[in-house]
Amino acid sequence: MTGAPTQNRKPLRSAEGATPAIAQWFAAKAAHPDALIFFRMGDFFEMLFEDAEVASAALDIALSNRGEHQGEKVKLCGVPAQAVDAYLARLIRQGFRVAICDQTETPEEQKRRKAPTIRREVTRIVTPGTVTEEALLEAARPAWLLALAPHGDVLGAAWLDVTTGAFATEGLSAVDLSALLARLEPAEILCPEDFARDPALLMLTERIAHLAVPRDGARRLAEAFAVATLDGFGSFGAEEIAAAAMALDYVRLTQAGGLPRLSPPVPAGGRGVLQMDGATRRSLEILRSERGDPRHALLGAVDRTVTPAGARELAARLASPLAEAEPIAARHDAVAFLLAAGAVRDALRAALKGAPDMARALARLSLDRFAPRDLGAIRDGLTRAEAMEAALAAAAGVPPIPALIAGARAALRPADSPRAELLRALADPLPARLDDGGLVAAGYDGELDALRRLRDGAREAIAALQMDLAQAWGVASLKIRHHQQFGFLAEVPSAAGEKLLREGMKDGPQAPVHRQTMANAMRFTCTALAELDRRVAEAGEQAGKRERVIAQHLRRLCLAAASDIATAAAAMAELDVHGAAAELAADGRWCRPDMTDRGDFAVVAARHPVVEAALARARGPAFVPNDCDLSAGRRLCLLTGPNMAGKSTFLRQNALLVILAQAGLFVPAESARIGLTDRLFSRVGAADDIAGGRSTFMVEMAETAAILNQATARSIVVLDEVGRGTATWDGLAIAWAVLEALHDRIRCRTIFATHFHELTALAGKLPELAPATMQVREWRGEVVFEHRVGPGAAEKSWGVHVARLAGVPRPVLARAQEVLKALEARARGLDPLSDELPLFARATPAAPTPAAAADHPAVTALAELDADSLSPREALDILYHLKSLLGPVAPHKD
């Protein structure tokens, strides 16, 4: 395995002549050259040589030296072992991989082996997609590890989350990769080295690790899940099996051969979901804003969950809305039930608030990398689950509990629950680390209680010995301290220590023996202190060993019930999402959408959830709701109006309603009827792709091409300003053709916003095109944007007015107004554009008969003309006007 280049490395120097400990470092570095080696030295993890230089710069910690190797000073920096998670988090976010080279034996075991140094081995590799520690994870976001395995013309994809055990696969074409990446936002990507050059991966190099595709993937998967065949898990393509095996290989590699608890892989993980490409997800800001802030995205606006697991489930539903009617209706039924049953909803949310993350605790338990709080999380989580089950049991009756709520209730009380045992066994409060002791409650284990009494009695003996030594040595301020290496020592001030060195007792159990000199104190030992140290150490060591044995017993109990615990945790997360959706609907006047199998889209008084939430936070004006009807007969809305009037908000608002509805939530509207959508496309806003060498217009055309090539009659498309990135006539021609293709060929529901007012001429030509405009009014010379959508077309764009609002200097505005008037005067005499285009070109009219000529507008205008009152300029203008009324005239033929 190799990772993304994270540091500028020098050639690794030879280990020849190294001390035993440094030789261990060289061995670890040779095995993991692409990782920073965190080398355990007592209470610290140290980085050496080039790793130290890189880590000191990345972590902003001091760089020092320790001794020499082959004539060069050994560069050194380190971090405390107790605070290692915080430093690992900083390195992981910067794209580094870290190999933990830990001590795998105690100093006592080293002494018994008579080895020159303590044994150290790489116990795990910390990477963005395989971390399990809370400090290294986003509580409300999954940490997907995505494996990609090219297989002929198909690409295998498998993604798993080691922190929750979720595991899914899908076979897809290479062109769909960017959509998958946008949907998952993986923490880390695995792929063969040559595939890393795929255009979709170019911007993600820091998250990519290179791994070869295994040849015997089916066997590896079957062995991992202890089955003879994968048929029981579903039907997998060869490419999916290869990707899934690649993901498992990588997890084993990073976890020193171990595997966390994983659910069996689910094939075709993308089937039955609403398809959205990367451009659409960026445009709609579903999980995070364009600046990366989740608070100003759809997720932040609608998240009322009270647990991290619930927040992850909500994010997953918004990222992958459903595309099948029955499961969507089931989710809506669950929300409707909890909306109506307010007392039940309150009881569930009260039980959930502050509930621990059982799924992630299980992952750490399965990897045997757990802390006491993980056992406590299982205990407390199951206790909360039982309280939730009791609340739902009390609600059983009329109306009946919907299927999803009933299923969740059944999962909340596992039949083989370790809760009772954990309640008896675990102390309260729990220690931060197993080595701190105090995990097991008094009275749970008789042997441990006896060892603790012996240990604690020895501690009382320490206090008594301290008084004895203070009297025997004549030092009232004497204190007994514990040193990691020397054990218990008697510490006295420097002056008293000098006196003891000169006049101390020569023999006897209390005779002082000098051990350590410090700046202001000296430390001594004696036979009595050494003997007490031995007895305390033995009692404490035996108690610690017994407590670790009990911890492992409790761990095994939890893992034996892991499947049921994981199911209960998933049920809690699901109820959290349903309850949060009901809470949102109750507080914000949200309605249940009527989902149909027809091509409907009719919403009344709908609102943009993110903008409305932002206005509420800022205590600004109320959001102005709008209707939208894209149902049969008016499938294509041609939206005109000025900038700043709310066109982009209206476009995104209706797209977000589809996401919310098909994710199983209610929608911010008075009523909504939405036909099931297979694909959602949003091309709103402009941005270039500098890294890919594409201009803003090229990006716009590529996104438009994707819509025209992939949209179906069941899709919904929102488009803004197609063709505005090039010359006016080029852009108008493109917009015209795209509009016709959406109406005539694809026949999907579309909102098409434009500043090309010429396109409104199509209203009478395309039967299902309905023109709409952003309402604007002028008052005392000022333009007022009403943010309302009404029927009809805009008369102008008010661009000069917007330029004034933006602070463009007055002379520039005045000149722009003059030029605008001149251009408008020229345009007034032109025929409607639809009459100029070949598609709608008229036949050359025959010469009018005398009767018809009398009714011609040109004759009428000429009859009303007062020729004597005209100036020369007015006469010329009238002449041009009359010519335009006559229309095109066939050329004279001799």
Could you tell me the two tokens for 346?
A: 């309150």
**Which pLDDT does position 664 carry in this prediction?**
97
Task: Say which amino acid occupies 517.
Answer: T
Q: Is the pLDDT of residue 847 over 80?
A: no
What is the mean pLDDT of the segment spanning 282-309?
A: 91
Q: One-letter amino acid identity for 822?
A: A
Give Cα separations from 724 to 264, 637, 736 (angstroms).
49, 18, 12
Strand order in the sheet with 521-525: 479-483, 487-493, 521-525, 513-517
Query: Phi and psi for 47 in degrees, rounded to 5?
Result: -115, 140
Is residue 421 pLDDT above 80, yes or no? yes
Nearest in space to 537 (alpha carbons), one of 486, 472, 579, 494: 486
Q: Mean pLDDT throughout 568-574?
A: 97
C-alpha to C-alpha distance for 37 and 551, rounded to whole angstroms = 29
- The answer to whether the bond into 832 is cis (omega within 30° of 0) is no
Q: Which of 33-42, 300-309, 528-537 has the lowest mean pLDDT?
A: 528-537
Q: How far apart are CA 299 and CA 238, in angstroms?
A: 35
Domain regions of the chain by residue span: 2-126, 146-249+257-271, 309-417+561-587, 446-547, 594-796, 850-886
Q: Tell whether the model's pLDDT for residue 4 goes beyond 70.
A: no
The DSSP bridge partners found for residue 750 are 636, 717
Are 138 and 287 in contact, with CB atoms under 8 Å apart?
A: no
pLDDT reported for residue 536 = 79
Between 2-6, 48-52, 619-623, the lowest mean confidence (pLDDT) is in 2-6
pLDDT of residue 894: 41
CB-CB contact of 755 with 640 (8 Å): yes
Q: Give me the torsion for CA of 565, 567, 572, 573, rounded to 10°.
A: 120
Q: What is the mean pLDDT of residues 164-172?
A: 94
For residue range 24-34, list pLDDT tens digits in order.
Answer: 999 999 999 98
Lowest mean pLDDT among 181-190, 310-319, 374-383, 692-701: 692-701
- Residue 7's pLDDT is what? 45
Minimum mean pLDDT range among 191-205, 580-594, 797-811, 863-877:
863-877
Answer for the pair 243, 287: CB distance below 8 angstroms, yes or no.
no
Q: What percent of the chain has pLDDT over 90?
A: 55
Asked if 142 and 315 touch (Cβ cutoff 8 Å), the reply is yes
- Would the pLDDT of 476 be above 70? yes
Phi, psi of 247 (to 5 degrees): -65, -45
> Would you say domain 446-547 falls under CATH 1.10.3720.10?
no
Question: Residue 709 is which amino acid?
Answer: N
Q: Is the pLDDT of residue 5 over 60?
A: no
For residue 160 the two structure tokens come to: 């798993």
- Name 20's Cβ contacts closer than 8 Å, sequence gap at least 6: 116, 117
Residues 6 or more apart from 406 whose CB is under 8 A from it? none
pLDDT at 687: 61
What distance in Å separates the CA atoms of residue 49 and residue 53, rounded to the nearest whole number? 7
> What does the chain come to in residues?
894
| pLDDT of res. 13 | 58
CATH architecture of 2-126: 3-Layer(aba) Sandwich (3.40)
In the structure, what pLDDT confidence band is assigned to residue 877 with cuts at 50, 70 and 90?
Answer: low
**What token pair was written down for 203?**
């911007």
| Residues contacting residue 257 through CB under 8 Å, at least 6 positions apart | none
Instruction: Name the class of domain 594-796.
Output: alpha beta
Arithmetic mean of pLDDT, 249-260: 90
Lowest mean pLDDT among 57-61, 218-222, 300-304, 824-828: 824-828
Tokens of 235: 């039907």
**Amino acid in the structure at residue 800:** V
Q: Where are the alpha helices (DSSP H) in 8-77?
A: 20-31, 49-59
What's the Rg (C-alpha) of the chain?
37
Does residue 176 have a pLDDT over 70?
A: yes
**Other CB atoms within 10 Å distance of the CB of residue 696:** 13
Task: Please list, residue by residue across 468-478, b when 16 or more beta carbons sit within 10 angstroms of its beta carbon and e when fewer do.
Answer: ebbebbebeeb
Select 146-249+257-271's CATH number: 3.30.420.110, 3.30.1360.70, 2.70.50.60, 2.60.120.10.
Answer: 3.30.420.110
Query: The sheet that has 782-791: what strands, in order across it?
Result: 680-683, 716-720, 749-753, 636-640, 769-779, 782-791
Distance CA(746)–CA(740), nearest Å, equals: 9
Minimum mean pLDDT range among 60-74, 268-282, 497-511, 793-807: 793-807
User: What are 330-348's pLDDT values in tens digits?
Assistant: 999 999 999 999 999 999 9
Mean pLDDT confidence for 267-274: 84
SS3 assignment, position 324: coil
Q: Please, which pLDDT band fits residue 869 given cuts at 50, 70 and 90?
A: low
Q: Do 2-126 and 146-249+257-271 have matching folds?
A: no
How many whole angstroms separate alpha carbon 612 and alpha carbon 669? 12
pLDDT at residue 265 tops 70: yes
List the 601-606 sheet strands across, edge first. 594-596, 671-675, 601-606, 626-629
Q: Which of 32, 38, 132, 128 is nearest to 368 (CA)?
A: 132
Across the chain, mean pLDDT equals: 86
Can you tell me the distance from the alpha carbon of 396 to that of 413, in angstroms, rounded to the nearest whole number? Answer: 16
- 309-417+561-587 domain in CATH 3.30.70.20? no
CA quadruple 709, 713, 717, 722: dihedral sign: positive
- Where is average pLDDT lowest: 93-97, 105-109, 286-290? 105-109
More confident: 768 or 779: 768
pTM comes to: 0.82
pLDDT higher than 80, residue 17: no
Q: Tell me what pLDDT residue 885 has.
A: 65
3-state secondary structure of 643: coil
> Which of 67, 70, 29 minimizes the C-alpha distance to 51?
29
Q: Mean pLDDT, to the nearest integer, of 318-339?
A: 96
Average pLDDT (88-112) is: 88
Q: Write phi, then psi, for 556 (nearest 5 degrees).
A: -65, -35
* CA 545/CA 542 separation, integer angstroms: 5
Helix or strand holding residue 102 (H, E): strand 98-103
